[in-house]
Amino acid sequence: MSLTESLGLAALHRCDPERAHSLSLLALRAGLVPLPGVVTSARLETDLAGMVLPNPVGLAAGYDKNAVALTPLMRSGFGFLEVGAATPRPQPGNAKPRLFRLTEDRAAINRFGFNNDGACAISARLALRPKGPVPVGLNLGANKDSADRSADFGEVLATCGPHIDFATVNVSSPNTEKLRDLQGRAALAALLARVMDVRAELARPVPVFLKIAPDLSAADLEDVAQVALDSGISGIIATNTTLSREGLKSAHKGEMGGLSGAPLFEKSTRVLAQLSALTEGRLPLIGVGGISTPEQAWQKIRAGATAVQIYTAMVYEGISLAARVARGLEAIAQREGFARVTDATGTGRADWL
């Protein structure tokens, strides 16, 4: 981490967390943050559902909710970006305060509630993004007051689909009441069928991923895996935030919302490994939750991930974390004798089962 980034992080940590989040995006857009450019090599290049990624380290949804900082983010060392979540209509989200740093736990709790500018505004920004080697995807959400939440996902995809490289169906946020109910077998199958119907109508059909919660039972995971395989989607993202509060020390540990960051690592990695076993390599998996080092990203890959995503750790490690993790993965793969990082996918799955 550079001195500039270190000082910037220290200043941001003196602000309210949500204000700091907004200021970090402003700093990126203003060119105040040193950026490494695209990080890639033959060992890092990754095929994810037909997309060629410069490296397997992505930005998870939630940081650039409204696609306002795409140009600098594409030069920040990530191999792919996910923006959103977007809902059909703009919505303010839940009442503030709704974002809390848990510094002692290297974690965060949020209850944003899909606050965003709406699909039309986000689609317009996506249409203007620079073309380049870093794929950009969109997390699809549903409006809180929607009469038909299943239809909302397809509506966002229809609006934004022409301007994205992949889409993620997000039925795992804990901050929209009853949204996680859509992870049930019948509801999920119906939802994914509607989304895939919309996808088929796009001039350029894009890969569709499903993002799941880490709090599912073994039986629920079996249902999710089977529905995902039957639906024709391109992969699964494991996992979103957790409702668990086990082992936390920070003052804000009792806040309602989804917990992300270091405490999620083991739980999310076990879910990832279970999904890898259940899908038997037939679907690519993206590992998310608690990654702050190259070694942890490597563990996700060995547990079954083709690619990984980071977000909360940047609160403590800065945006340069993406490049550090990517280059660290390259070094680990070389040391372990793998020609490509993704050749290690699933080789350590048994350690997590």
Residues involved in catalysis: 173
Structure tokens at 195: 């989304």
Instruction: Please answer whether residues 310 and 291 qualify as being in contact, where contact means their C-beta atoms are separated by less than 8 angstroms.
Output: yes
78 contact partners, CB below 8 Å, separation of at least 6: 55, 57, 58, 59, 134, 322
For 13, phi then psi, to 5°, come to -75, -5
Instruction: Report the distance separating Cα 30 and Cα 185, nearest Å.
Output: 45
Q: How far apart are the first and last CA of the chain?
A: 35
- The three-state DSSP-derived secondary structure of 88-99 is CCCECCCCCCCE
Task: From 185, 230, 209, 214, select the one nearest 273 (Cα to Cα).
Answer: 214
Q: DSSP per residue over 261-323, as a string?
A: EGGGHHHHHHHHHHHHHHHTTSS-EEEESS--SHHHHHHHHHHT-SEEEE-THHHHH-TTHHH
Residue 89: count other Cβ atoms within 10 Å of its Cβ.
Answer: 15
- Cβ(145)–Cβ(133) below 8 Å: no
